[in-house]
Chains A and B, each alone.
Chain A
Amino acid sequence: MTGFPQVERDDTSAAFYDAAAREELLMQRGPSGTVLPPEARTDPASGSADLEPVTVSGDGVLVSWAVVHRAPLPALADAVPYVSAVVELAEGPWVIVRLVGDICSLSAGDPVRARFVRSGAPEDPGEVLPVFEPVATGVTS
């Protein structure tokens, strides 16, 4: 797996990357029960900032995607062409992620599942990152 820039945790994201290292996907849940992406600060349904961590299934469906041919950043230059996608998790939140695996034939609504990859170069590894792949041809990790 190449083309993932080296990622380093900070205090806020430490639990998320710890979970990823265990091959778990960590989101947040607000008082309304709404499940939110890890970087969310407010539950839009209740206006509350009182969010608690929640581990989700890692199952989802493909909302949309783009095949990126022109790297937006130098750190992604080695990765093109690659697929960026919006995935709707089974628990509700949408996440913007890298899509890997068999990406020759995609349709909105396709089932996808989280898998986990090590960021950075082998000699200089970073945190483990959640990515997604189509379920039909995916190799569970």
Chain B
Amino acid sequence: MTGAAIAGLGTTAMGKVYGRSSTSLAAEAVRGAVADAGLALTDLDGLLVSSGIKQDVGVGLAAVLGLQDLSVLNQVNAFGATAGVMVAQAAQAVAAGTASTVACVFADSPLKPKESAGSTYGAPQRSGRGRPVRGYAGWSVASGATNPNILYAMCARRHMERYGTTSEQLGEIAVAQRSWAARNPLAQMREPITLADHQESRWIADPLHLLDCCLVSNGAVAVVVTSADRAAGLARPAVHVWGYGQAHAPRRMQAGSDWGLVTPAARSGPQALRMAGVGVGDVDVAEIYDCYTYTVLVTLEDYGFCAKGEGGAFVADGRLAPGGTLACNTGGGQLSSYYMWGFTPLSEAVIQARADGGERQAPRNDVVVVSGNGGILEHHSTLVLSPHARSGR
């Protein structure tokens, strides 16, 4: 129990939102989150800023928003783990009294008209056609494994080889999330898909099909973190931060490595649950970072929803779909809804904790877990959220 709560949520339009800078989107999301909480921008004394692959939103956002008297101002980057790290930092600032009301915002605008989504994440600085690639980077480019699709495919393959996990089991995750997305008006992809659609979708990097891979989106999301006491008197139901954790294991490429099989989620998840004073069996809603279907599977294992190696069986038979036994990625996640790094699962967690999910509201929401994963399964953050103050549960 941290004594902090999320009091406001702001989101912009998502997806093919053209002609807006990341900074402009970020400013809109912060304004939205502050208004949602029933606060004014002048109530903020903290701002944490994060942006996507281009890192094109910085602390200058404070000036854009006219914030002239802040106690906390930082740019945060733990890749896909950033959202959880930011909320933890905001909660720590609130607990320490160094700030009372902190906005955390993520914005990204990698999509351009007439450019493929994939090209935005392909390390364009090393694209190299007609120009030699220099140094060790040349050997790396020649390996052909120059983007996350390929490295995550190798992680998924390793799990398949070790534990017998199948492409169909990964497909179950994609199908379940699309069926949640069909009920989410914010989602970019709402047309239902079948397991056959997943299997027939083109290969990106075998064993990953197109429908194993996340979207790319333009947009922004912000939350406002304040003390639980203050949040209780604001406009919207407080979403209490019961626990947080983070763990980092940058690529260990050495004999004996469990790379791709066990991720830092195995330390981050239990750490957050321990702080929250709950077990994995208490979790009602799991918003699990899903840059790929495989990320969901391995994170569920690492959090302890099932034993290592049993993730494939665990996600089968619609367990994660509406009506299944674990409400997971209830907005459709990054596979079907929108790709705002860790702010995708965080935003949906806030919606579920407030019981604002409408057609997709999970039947129970007392304990909501949010995961963030970054790098190639190298960075992880976890939040445990609840509509209840810890003592009042």
Contact = CB atoms under 8 A, between A and B. Distances in A.
Interface of A: 4-10, 12-13, 16, 34, 36-39, 44, 63-70, 72-77, 79, 81-86, 88, 92-98, 107-108, 119-120, 126-127, 129-131
A73 B154 contact: no
27 contacts: A5-B132, A6-B133, A9-B134, A12-B135, A16-B139, A37-B253, A38-B136, A39-B140, A44-B254, A64-B154, A66-B154, A66-B208, A68-B206, A70-B149, A70-B202, A75-B128, A76-B144, A77-B129, A84-B145, A86-B158, A86-B253, A94-B253, A96-B145, A96-B151, A108-B161, A108-B162, A129-B138
Interface string B85-112: 0000000000000000000000000000
B216 to A, nearest CB: 14
Contacts of A75: 127-129, 133, 141
B162 to A, nearest CB: 7
Interface of B: 118, 122-123, 126-129, 131-136, 138-147, 149-151, 153-155, 157-158, 161-162, 202-208, 252-255, 257, 259-260
A81 B203 CA distance: 10
Given A64-B161, A68-B150, A130 B255 contact: no
A5 B141 contact: yes
A7 B257 CA distance: 29
Contacts of A44: 252, 254
Nearest to B207: A66
B149 A95 contact: no
Contact of B128 (A5, A16, A67, A88): A5
Summarize B's interface: helix, strand, loop or mixed.
mixed
A141 to B, nearest CB: 16
Given A7-B142, A8-B135, 19 more contacts: A5-B138, A6-B133, A7-B134, A8-B134, A12-B135, A39-B136, A39-B140, A44-B254, A64-B157, A65-B154, A66-B150, A68-B150, A72-B150, A73-B122, A84-B144, A96-B143, A126-B132, A129-B139, A130-B139
Contact of B206 (A6, A69, A74, A131): A69
B142 A73 contact: no
A126 B138 contact: yes
Contacts of B144: 68, 72, 76, 79, 82-84, 98
A10 B134 CA distance: 6
Contacts of B149: 70, 72
A10 B139 CA distance: 12
| Residue from A10, A66, A127 whose CB has the most chain B CB atoms within 10 Å | A66
Contacts of B157: 64-66, 108
A94 B254 contact: yes
Given A8-B133, A66-B153, A94-B254, A73 B206 contact: no
Contacts of A37: 253
A73 B161 contact: no
A8 B136 contact: no
A92 B254 contact: yes
A75 B129 CA distance: 5
A77 to B, nearest CB: 8
Nearest to A4: B142
Contact of B132 (A68, A72, A77, A120): A120
B154 A85 contact: yes
A69 B139 contact: no
A79 to B, nearest CB: 7
Nearest to B213: A70
A70 B118 contact: yes
A64 B150 CA distance: 11
A122 B257 CA distance: 38
A66 B206 contact: yes
Nearest to A109: B161
From B135, B204, B208, residue with most partner A Cβ within 10 Å: B135
A88 B118 CA distance: 29
Nearest to B208: A66
A9 B204 contact: no
